Amino acid sequence: MKKIHIIGLGLLGGSFALALKKVKPEITFTGYDSNIDNQNDAKVLGIVGEIKENPDADTDVIILAVPANAISEILIKTLDSIGPDTLVIDFGSTKEALCNAVADHPKREQYLAGHPIAGTEYSGPKAAKEDLLDKKVFIICEMDKTNIHLKGMAYEILEALNMKLRFMNPDEHDKHLAFVSHLSHISSFMLGKTVLDKMEDEKNIFDMAGSGFASTVRLAKSSPAMWAPIMEENKKNILEAMSLYISNLSKFRDKIIADDYEGLYQEMLKINKIGDILNLEK
């Protein structure tokens, strides 16, 4: 493996390149981004050695790290144009519609549907970190549909990045991510909106906000350019997650209205179990 081309030179694409460069300095990285500032920053930061819209014919791996609603079109165009020895991997946060879009493509076996479970509330090449992907989960969907030899290149990369592999069906992936990731961002955005709507004096927000508020609303700093497309692509599952969340909020409010503080205590005590579940992964 000698050449990797990255389409989308933001947080994930940039972090991927920086991490792999460290352990495999012999690989040549090229890339492209629709944002000219991202192109310039990626070049200056050494994320890629050259900016080019189209990868070389002998490129081994092409990474698609663009907003969720743009991947399908780019994936199809990329598969249409590549030679038989190139593997295409996407980093998108939704998978079902994407896998369906290329299900009958003649080069389907040259595509690996992936999703690194990593990120921060920041975006762009300047936010890229070489340790962002270290020990993080990488989900692969429809593993059996990728050519076994090309899949070997993907495993080589993911092992070099020290990532933990998990395997899911595309619909299962999208449903789970709606609850444990997408809903978290929506909650954070709406908490931020609620506070901004109620507290017009920004100084009061700054002075009175403790670490709990800061950590809960942190995701509200995430890029709308990334998250609006995710809402579009995973609409069905996100609406289901939101409906359950709104129902639980309403029930919680009803307990407060009814002065049922023992009920609130017992409810929160049961929810404390989430801490044990999350600690198992550390």
* Distance of alpha carbon 198 from alpha carbon 213, whole angstroms: 15
What is the 8-class DSSP label of residue 182?
I
Burial profile 248-279: b = 16 or more Cβ within 10 angstroms, e = fewer: eeeeeeebeeeeeeeeeeeeeeeeeeeeeeee
- Listed in order, strand segments (DSSP E) in the chain are 3-7, 28-32, 50-51, 61-64, 87-90, 111-116, 137-141, 164-168
Last residue of a domain, one of 134, 153, 168: 168
pLDDT of amino acid 201: 66
Strand partners, 32: 7
List 113's β-bridge partners, or say none: 90, 141
User: Tell me: the pLDDT tens digits for 146-176?
Assistant: 999 999 999 999 999 999 999 999 999 999 9
Residue 46 CB neighbours (<10 A):
12
Encode 179-190: b = buried (16+ Cβ within 10 Å), e = exposed: eebbbebbbbbe
> For residue 99, what is the domain's CATH number?
3.40.50.720
Number of domains in the chain: 2
φ/ψ of residue 30, rounded to 5: -120, 170
Enclosing domain of residue 224: 173-279
Tell me: the pLDDT tens digits for 81-132? 999 999 999 999 999 999 999 999 999 999 999 999 998 888 999 999 999 9
Question: For residue 207, what pLDDT band results from cuts at 50, 70 and 90?
Answer: low
pTM score, whole prediction:
0.88
Chain Cα centroid distance, residue 125: 15
Q: How far apart are CA 115 and CA 133, in angstroms?
A: 11
Q: Which of 124, 150, 168 delimits the end of a domain?
A: 168
Among 137, 152, 168, give the residue marking a domain's end. Answer: 168
Same-domain pairing of 68 and 120: yes
